[in-house]
Structure 1
Amino acid sequence: FWYLFLEQEFVYVGDAGIVEPSGKTERKGIDLSLQYQPLSWLYGNLDATYAFARSLEEPEGNDFIPLAPDFTLTGGLNANLPSGIYSGISMRHLSARPANEDNSIVAEGYTVFDFNLGYELQKWHFGINIQNLFDTEWNETQFATESRLSFETEAVEEIHFTPGTPFFLRGIVTYFF
């Protein structure tokens, strides 16, 4: 269990390229970390965090801290066989979260899986690495930003984002000397 109180939260203002104060904040939560190795060659891990984050100087309902995650989860299962074969699958999850102070704009959550498989032969390693195994569409970086297109009469506050990596396969050959 943990608790964090800040007398002054600082936020980045992307359009201006500055950091500005936004008042007192409070965060409290719980972290859980598990590791398990049922066999000498098989092991897994799981890390979860739940957090409740609010601004203390704003009225209720307008006190969300933009982009403060509520729930995160990472985990994996890995095998490292005596024959030299190794493999693993990992997962990362970030829940949807407020993108602005009144939670009227939400940054989408995501769950992405990665996979690796390889073989070690003395000083040589051969393998593949797959990022985003299930080709999940996800947004990596997300910000609520005000913008106006040339055909719009009024500026609109909405999510601007960087798309996450799509399915990506990489071959690996390594020689250690």
Structure 2
Amino acid sequence: MMLRRMLPSCRSFGAAAASPPSPYLHDLVGDSSQPGILGGYGVKAVALGDVSKGEVVFREKGEIFSEAMMHSIQIGVDSHCQIDGEGRFTAHSFSPNLKVLVSPHEPIPITFVALHAIDRGEELSFDYTTTEWALDKGGFTDHSTDRPVKGFKYLGEDERRRLLESGLLPAHILQLWLSELLDV
């Protein structure tokens, strides 16, 4: 359930309606269903307005590490980009509304793009298994499906092929998958 109370440092839905259009397509809101430190509430990213299919919602950059961090996205076989911006509040979903494009050699290596039209106020999500080979500490359980989220490495063959055919897999996941198939 979404709270209408906004973080003080963020753009708000109310302000967006009364002021000129925001250059941002997303916002952060408090969420009582998420654990967190905002008065006991967590935070989630939502669409600030209606978003069209194919539209870039936001981009992320950060320090690059060889190991996964709490708020990182894998961008190479052994490279993880620490997300310091609002992308760290983007949820996981096996039915996501965003895809993540990874360009590891660009100054801003991560781009979140709408997979389909997204309505104003809709929670923003992507499938973590499309970017992560193996999640740190064994992953977690998806609350809406009760399916484990451990990383691409742990998906069944049908799910792997579905993601391949959907065009959601970055080069590092394809490289790791091929290495696994070839037992390299």
Shorter-chain TM-score category? under 0.3
Structure with bigger RCO (C-alpha 8 Å, 6+ apart): 2
Query: What TM-score do the two structures reach when normalised by structure 1?
Result: 0.25
Give the structure with the higher percent strand. Answer: 1
Higher helix fraction (1 or 2): 2
Q: TM-score, normalised by structure 2?
A: 0.25
Give 1 or 2 for the bigger CA radius of gyration. 1
